[in-house]
Structure 1
Amino acid sequence: MPLFLRDIWPIEPLREYKIHFARWNKHNQPLDVFARDRQEWQNWQEYKPGRNEFNRPLIFSLIQFYHETDSWLFGGVYEVTARHDDRYEVALRGNGEEMIGRLKIHYAYRDRTTRPVMERHYENFEVQEILKEPYSGRSFPGFDEIDLSFEELESLVCNNRDDWRISLASVKGIYLITDTSTGRRYVGSAYGDQGVWGRWCQYAENGHGGNVQLRQIAQDADLAYARANFRFALLEHRLDRTPDDMIIARETYWKRILFTRGAQGLNRN
């Protein structure tokens, strides 16, 4: 028997609320924005399109949990404190504060409207689960299932998630970075301090990790290009006692079979 939000959290009056169904805006996933920077997430509530869509005093924000179908993460209740021609000013309210980033709602929402009225949807919000801790990134899926957007990697590094850090810091490895806007790929290896984790932290910091070719296309200070286009995958991992020359040899192998040198790829050697 499903448990509905109205059963555990009566919200009145509904006509004071607009819902914000935050979804991918063709540049960023709001779930990753929420995980890495709460102020940046608040900025999503302050964005004002051409119309005054937040025309009620309160915003019930939901974040598309894009790893799962029809799943939404509660992002807080915000009060609209001022309306300007180009933006809103909002303040986080205490309503449901303990559920921010923890409450997951199951609801099949397909409409194009991002900011509908609360009373049309609230009655059918089904409680999917309540996380033990506020969401800070996906759980580590195992070495053979790693496929991350740059934004996901960035949020994992920002939150220093133990499951990812401990796992990736314990191994050396060969990884693949794909620029999804061009299809060009880069193969790299990690065999220094903190293994794969240490190397990927460098990418999360500046978007290019010091690689010449990547620096040429991802040198924007706000990491916008990397966030929009880079994906990371782990091709293979080895125990941290594996000799470095063996890791380098495996890197060369992957460069050869994936044609990542020259015009087709992003490796210079």
Structure 2
Amino acid sequence: MFDGNWNPIEMFKNNEMDTILRGHYWNYNKNKSYKEGQTTIGFIRIKSNENLWLLFHIGKITKDLNIQNGVGYEYETLTEYEKYFGRIIVRFKNKSQNMVRKAESVIDDCEIAQILPDIFDNDLFPGYDKVNITWSELSRVITKDTWKTALRNQKGVYLITDTTNGKMYVGSAYGDDMILNRWKSYLKNGNGGNKELKELEFKYIKDNFRYSILDIFKSTTDEKIIIERENWWKETLLSRKFGYNAN
């Protein structure tokens, strides 16, 4: 479901299936998850406040490795069901902390809510005031039509936050393609040409930075107004004194 920074639905959209399957076939300290010969069906909760789950895998246990607190099994994917992976959404209200359940105990409470025409993708632009994404999420959504349209049509002031130490960087965008173009520059090298961010390794930025939008302006807004607002945010958030803004 979710464990700290480990969010399976985001990992699914990023095609990080190896990590998800490791979790699916993990053995915990006290009880084994499966037995040889059993069929396993894997679901990911789509949102923490909803009872909707996405099918991501169906497999069969071929060998018990007798490993505790680690990946405990060898398995084979049941390929005849692969066409449904990432497409079937099940409605199920979970009432237990145990995430490994026998089908007979929950099957009557499961309902197929939807069979998607294609692989699950909910990357619609959420609104300027709701943007708060990681670097990896930014690298994915920047190619989506709704995001490209929204970001290239607004000038604005944005915020970059380092989640390890709370340091912030305030920037503005008002040139060609506006916010879209500015954020694309962060995907190339992580720093977008900014002095303080150049001191950081690209991998560090990928692992720890989040991107959000503080203010938006019409494309006709004079850039002096945007720069003034950018400076106001720098003063308010103290990003020059405690953050990554050099000026």
Coarse TM-score class (shorter-chain normalised): 0.7 to 0.9
| 2:93 counterpart of 1:117 | no
Q: Provide the TM-score with structure 1 as the length reference.
A: 0.72
CA positional deviation for 1:140: 1.4
| 2:45 counterpart of 1:64 | yes
**Structure 2 residue aligned with 1:53:** 33
Question: Residues 218, 106 of structure 1: CA spacing in aligned structure 2 closer, same or farther, 3 A cutoff?
Answer: farther
Question: Residues 192, 98 of structure 1: CA spacing in aligned structure 2 closer, same or farther, 3 A cutoff?
Answer: farther
The within-5 A match list for 1:2-81 is 23-37=1-15, 40-47=16-23, 48-50=26-28, 52-56=32-36, 57-66=38-47, 68-81=49-62
**Structure 1 residue aligned with 2:236:** 257
Q: Provide the TM-score with structure 2 as the length reference.
A: 0.78
Aligned CA RMSD, in angstroms, stands at: 3.1
The answer on whether the counterparts of 1:190 and 1:196 sit within 8 Å (CA) in structure 2 is yes
Percent identical residues: 28
Mean CA deviation greater in 123-132 or 198-207 = 198-207
Question: Residues 234, 116 of structure 1: CA spacing in aligned structure 2 closer, same or farther, 3 A cutoff?
Answer: same
The within-5 A match list for 1:192-211 is 192-204=175-187, 207-211=190-194
Q: What are structure 1's unaligned runs of at least 5 residues? A: 1-22
The C-alpha deviation readout for 1:33-53, integer Å capped at 9, x for no partner, is 11112xx22432134345542
The answer on whether the counterparts of 2:125 and 2:146 sit within 8 Å (CA) in structure 1 is yes
Question: Residues 141, 220 of structure 1: CA spacing in aligned structure 2 closer, same or farther, 3 A cutoff?
Answer: closer
The within-5 A match list for 1:106-145 is 106-145=91-130
The answer on whether the counterparts of 1:77 and 1:92 sit within 8 Å (CA) in structure 2 is yes
The C-alpha deviation readout for 1:12-67, integer Å capped at 9, x for no partner, is xxxxxxxxxxx123222111111112xx2243213434554243543211112126
Question: Residues 251, 55 of structure 1: CA spacing in aligned structure 2 closer, same or farther, 3 A cutoff?
Answer: farther
**Structure 2 residue aligned with 1:174:** 157
The residue identity in structure 2 corresponding to 1:196 is I
The residue identity in structure 2 corresponding to 1:171 is Q
- Residue 203 of structure 2 aligns to a residue whose secondary structure is coil
